Amino acid sequence: MSKETVTVVDVVGGTVCVSVDDGQRVYSAIATIIHNSNIATISFSGVERMTTAFLNAAIGQLYGEFSEDQIRRSVGISDASPADAVLIKKVVDRAKKYFAEPGKYGRIQSAEDGNK
């Protein structure tokens, strides 16, 4: 097992991480490392701005493909500011809940869409 670093600003090409497309590129890099049975360290060094939309795509969707245990063993976070660490934790907590019962959240969204 080798360790590989995914430096977010390098993958995104800048210090502002807000788009789902950018998050998808980060996700793809992380998922490839996990599929190759290696360990990914996600470095947020240099990130100036980040949104939950980006993090949902970059990190949250890992929980739909890999088990929580596998993610815990294979993915680490480094260089996140305290505020970004809070956002990451929120995204991870929501992703765990969502992927544990995805049908439940689909029903809630459908009900909300019907109320518009």
Structural domains in the chain (count) = 1
**Rama region for 79: left / alpha / beta (φ>0; ψ in -120 to 50; rest):** left
Quickly state the pLDDT bin for 110 (edges 50, 70, 90): very low
Please give the Cα distance from 34 to 72 (Å, whole number): 11
Q: For residue 83, is pLDDT > 70? A: yes
Which domain does 110 fall in, by range?
Answer: 3-114
Residues contacting residue 45 through CB under 8 Å, at least 6 positions apart? 7, 8, 9, 78, 79
Tokens of 81: 């500011």
**Residue 113's pLDDT is what?**
43
Please give the Cα distance from 99 to 87 (Å, whole number): 18
**Residue 60's pLDDT is what?**
96
